[in-house]
Amino acid sequence: MDRLSSLSRFKGMCPYLGRTKQSTLRSLCTATSPKYPTLNKLTEKATQCPVLGPVLSVRSKQVVAGYASLAGTADVKKIHEQKGVHLPDNAASADISMCPHASAAARAARMAEDLAAAKRKAAAKAAHAGQAKGDATAAAAAAAGCPFHAAAAEASKAPKKQAKPGLFDYEKFYNEEIEKKHKDASYRYFNNINRLAKKFPIAHTSDPKDEVEVWCANDYLGMGNNPVVIETMHRTLDKYGHGAGGTRNIAGNGAWHLGLEAELAALHRKPAALVFSSCYVANDATLATLGSKLPNCVFFSDSMNHASMIQGIRHSGARKVIFKHNDLQDLEAKLASFPKDTPKIIAFESVYSMCGSVGPIKEICDLADKYGALTFLDEVHAVGLYGPRGAGVAEHLDFQAHLAAGQSPAPIPGTVMDRIDIITGTLGKAYGAVGGYIAGSTEFVDMIRSYAPGFIFTTSLPPVTVAGAHASVRYQMEWMGDRKLLGLNVRALKKRFAERDIPVVPGPSHITPVLVGDAALAKDASDYLLAKHDIYVQAINYPTVARGEERLRVTITPRHTQEQMEKLVDAVDDTFNTLGIKRLQDWKALGGRAGVGLPDDQVKPIKDIWNDEQLGLLDGSAPKQLRAGEKHYVDQRAVMVTRSRFEKLLGKVEEAPKLRAGAPLGLVDARATAAAATVVAAAA
């Protein structure tokens, strides 16, 4: 256990140690190498690593040299006396087992020999691979014992490009920039996580047998493996193949793209929508185009806006004014400083993804009306999750009005969503796909379509991807149960964290940011959770969040069970204890940070976006939280309606689905099928 405790200190430096499960490390540490008796299996493996191999070699020589440095007979005799060792006068000089110093020296020497032998074997193996497959393959073979260092080993062996005298040294510049990230602990490590469709929210690491629970994915509803989504994608792939064939202007504009855009426009009750390859591109291209086209345009940007919005504004070349996060007074003061006839755009978000706060959408609309500004609302972390049809927070604010309007695409005058000029959203989070979009007036969308380089000059999304996204959007428009269950799980998780004094940045949304407050500690916490508890939660550091506000961004889904939730809370509690991370009470003693532990007179009550009535807690209609072994509910009516959207392109599906996720689609009760058929006919 002492060796394992020591290893934990180096998990942040060695990706292999950081990613390997504690049980595996324990086994490697305690198992003797069959080839080198003085080494354990982990040490033997380390000799093959391009980083640890040379270090072990040097260290073993230092140990042997340390023992050999005491050569004088008098010194050895003195050590014997101090240790209480009494050798007979006639003891053979070769019999060293009775002397702890000599025995240790001999063991060190043997270990040094075994290390050298293991290293020679690794080098010979690499050389043999090089002769057979070329020098590049040899470099990879040399790092095979530590695959996470393979790229580093190959790069270190490749000849360095030297700058010519008097010219700029580009490689040196790259290295210096990377070194800055290492020094301030903001260097990004990308974990190898492979989500399993039939085991969501389980994934495997680089080893398919090494499974972990994912607690930070943006597939908030688990729609990435919804059965009707998968079915639609399979059918589309079989008929239409993979790629789109070109840009939207050249061979890449099909019925799938037009159908999805019509659905998204209807979702937000706007006249038109436009699909992009991602919402980063959608935000960047739209804001850059608007700002460059509107004469003397001024952007008013929330201080916590996403990087895509910041870049779009920067690329526009227009003037930018930043207002304090969600601060209406600051925003109004800055709006009032410009003439009313100056074109203005207020760019903000509904749900801010790293802190979980929610923008004051209605109040910003009021200011926009007063000062003649356009409103640009990013609903990326809200679409699919809020509102009776999943259109986002703007829809949720007039919940009953939109619920009563059903699936009508017509705008509802006076509602918050109708007052927003431009809405952007993603297909890559709650809808479990990829892509982004904008929605607004017909003229606005047509202008962006005609001028935005980010839309015009890129290959359009593949039909199979668009079909899956469309099926996901439609399913969520018809079924509210997933987002209700998500709301219940979020409440339960935040309550359990509070009971353990685990600091959570307060907010009304589904985002659950656990405050750590230190970049290195956040990385260590993420590594520890993965190594010891098989739980993957990504650490969030600067520049995504401010320095000193580093955190673990936890996102629960409707598919997490109560047992998995309890395991997570226990694991985070253990991580805080082991690494000495500050608790809620510690932050209170320090005066608070990032909204955590503030003095009582500064704490403002926060209401969840989903209230008790909307969640079904008042009338008993709330969905049931999952227990271990239970399958997630799949709504049959929503499946049937979703299928109906694709009959023209794909034909009818003769079978109806079972009601549980993870099972194949098959026949169900005839009465339910008939009822679903009635709904399909009404929706057609």
Catalytic residue among 429, 484, 532, 582: 429
641, two tokens: 């309606």
User: Phi, psi at residue 543, to the nearest 5°?
Assistant: -95, 5
What is the secondary structure of 83-139 as a DSSP string?
A: HT----TT--TT--TT-HHHHHHHHHHHHHHHHHHHHHHHHHHHHHHHHHH-HHHHH
Question: What amino acid occupies position 652?
Answer: K
Q: Cβ contacts of residue 7 below 8 Å, gap of 6+?
A: 17, 25, 29
Question: What amino acid occupies position 456?
Answer: I
Q: Say if residue 201 is preceded by a cis peptide, omega within 30 of 0.
A: yes
d(C-alpha 444, C-alpha 453), whole Å: 15
Residue whose C-alpha is closest to residue 387's, from 468, 482, 467, 306: 482
| Residue 429 is a catalytic residue | yes
Q: Cβ contacts of residue 291 below 8 Å, gap of 6+?
A: 297, 299, 312, 313, 315, 316, 317, 318, 345
Question: What amino acid occupies position 145?
Answer: G
Is the sign of the CA dihedral 104, 106, 108, 111 positive or negative?
negative
d(C-alpha 652, C-alpha 621), whole Å: 32
d(C-alpha 522, C-alpha 355), whole Å: 15
- The DSSP bridge partners found for residue 213 are 202, 535
Query: What are the strands, taking DSSP E only, across 417-482?
Result: 422-426, 436-440
Residue whose C-alpha is closest to residue 390's, from 445, 472, 467, 465: 472
208, two tokens: 């398919």
Is the sign of the CA dihedral 263, 268, 273, 274 positive or negative?
negative
The per-residue b/e assignment along 265-275, b for 16 or more CB within 10 angstroms, e otherwise, is: bbbbbbebbbb
Residue with tokens 């050569």: 71
d(C-alpha 491, C-alpha 508), whole Å: 10
Cβ burial, residue 679 (10 Å; 0-12/13-18/19+): middle
The per-residue b/e assignment along 515-533, b for 16 or more CB within 10 angstroms, e otherwise, is: bbbbbebbbbbbbbbbbbb
Count CB atoms within 10 A of the CB of residue 235.
19
User: Phi, psi at residue 184, to the nearest 5°?
Assistant: -95, 10
Count CB atoms within 10 A of the CB of residue 459.
15
Query: For the chain, how long is the longest CA-to-CA vector?
Result: 107
DSSP 8-class letter at 159: P
Work out the angle at residue 477's Cα, subtended by the Cα atoms of residues 475 and 480, and round it to the nearest 5 degrees: 90
- The DSSP bridge partners found for residue 274 are 438
What is the secondary structure of 365-389 as a DSSP string?
A: HHHHHHHTEEEEEE-TTTTTTSSTT
d(C-alpha 511, C-alpha 508), whole Å: 8
331, two tokens: 């925003």
668, two tokens: 């169900």
CB of 527 closer than 8 Å to CB of 18: yes
The per-residue b/e assignment along 499-512, b for 16 or more CB within 10 angstroms, e otherwise, is: eeebbbbbbbbbbb
Q: Which residues are catalytic?
A: 429
